[in-house]
Structure 1
């Protein structure tokens, strides 16, 4: 039986934008089930002693990353605009993705949030922006946001982030297949091959 790929992502993560844009189609083509796993990088970085994104803490690395993102997006045919603020908060969007992880529309939502952040320079920390994205993909933003902001909805994201820490995730995007970790957008194909072999 083919094992699923767990896609662990964070909306502030640049390289997760690349992975999110292609993972649903890649999994479908490979015949591999996909599980959307939203988590927060802040607590993960904090556990490593980091107070900010490594791309901000190490400016040379950050400068390379933005150049690399331009190249990678061009290769994939993805629009890209360097955000005017990085990393942006995305708590509401993350709660929605965690609460509605099994919804048929979650992939469209995830891609739209990434596009807003990394192609349109929209403030994804703004509830109005997130509500408009939910409406744009044909869902009831009031109902979706209400479900995600209940105590139960908030707890889902906390549990997911705790699980990421417990399982040794240290960055995003990460792919987990049958307990094996693959880190980085460029490891998606390895994860898919591992899922098929498993």
Structure 2
């Protein structure tokens, strides 16, 4: 049997379009015959390097208004639950992303990640407090309190910093980002299918 190509999915829990991509990528990748490696990270340090202290959708209000309407349209188009805007936006995703980094090699990473996105963008619940993240873990049959505590260890904080630095070094500047095995970068939920095509060798425009 031929080895499946792998696509890296870099995502941020505060990212609106990462929510759409997280809910869609499993079925889309399975249909394409592509394995997915989920890569949680923080956008804040990358935004700070560009001089932003918040989401660019807040920095540019007209862009933000259109983004929320676009998100509503895209959720409906893909059969996802209606969008609920978290307040505040963006949410502080540090506790959740630490847990995701802790679970990078665990089978609960994907259901946890999708549940965090759903809590924030479908249900309008806070994901900022460690207790809220622990509650999501509890619903998955995990020990939420213990897992959140382990995620706050110095060793895991270091793993998160390494993830962020890897994202920076590989040219990632936003989320969601998809990276193919040959290093091709696709940014945005609307590039998911194109990234999958590239991963399986359908590469018009590939010669540079």
Q: TM-score, normalised by structure 2?
A: 0.91
For 1:165 and 1:108, how far apart are their aligned partners in 2? 26
Which of the pair has the greater relative contact order for Cα pairs under 8 Å at 6+ separation? 1
Residues 2, 195 of structure 1: 8 Å contact kept: no
What is the Cα deviation at residue 127 of structure 1? 1.3
> Where does structure 2 lack aligned partners over 5 or more consecutive residues?
203-208
Moved more, 56-65 or 124-133: 124-133
Runs of 4+ aligned structure 1 residues displaced above 3 Å come to: none
Match of 2:23 in 1: 21
CA-atom RMSD in angstroms: 1.3
SS of residue in 1 equivalent to 2:20: helix
Where does 1:42-191 land on structure 2 (aligned, <5 Å)? 42-79=44-81, 80-178=83-181, 179-191=183-195
What is the Cα deviation at residue 28 of structure 1? 2.0
**Residues 29-72 of structure 1, C-alpha deviation per residue, up to 9 Å, x if partnerless?**
22211111111111111112222211000000000001111111
SS of residue in 1 equivalent to 2:158: helix
- In the alignment of these two chains, the number of paired residues is 198
What is the Cα deviation at residue 8 of structure 1? 0.3
Normalized per residue, which structure has more helix?
1
For 2:184 and 2:92, how far apart are their aligned partners in 1? 29
State which structure, 1 or 2, has the greater radius of gyration over its C-alpha atoms: 2
**Residues 89-120 of structure 1, C-alpha deviation per residue, up to 9 Å, x if partnerless?**
01111011111112111111011100111111
> Where does structure 1 lack aligned partners over 5 or more consecutive residues?
none
Q: TM-score, normalised by structure 1?
A: 0.96
Residues 86, 121 of structure 2: 8 Å contact kept: yes
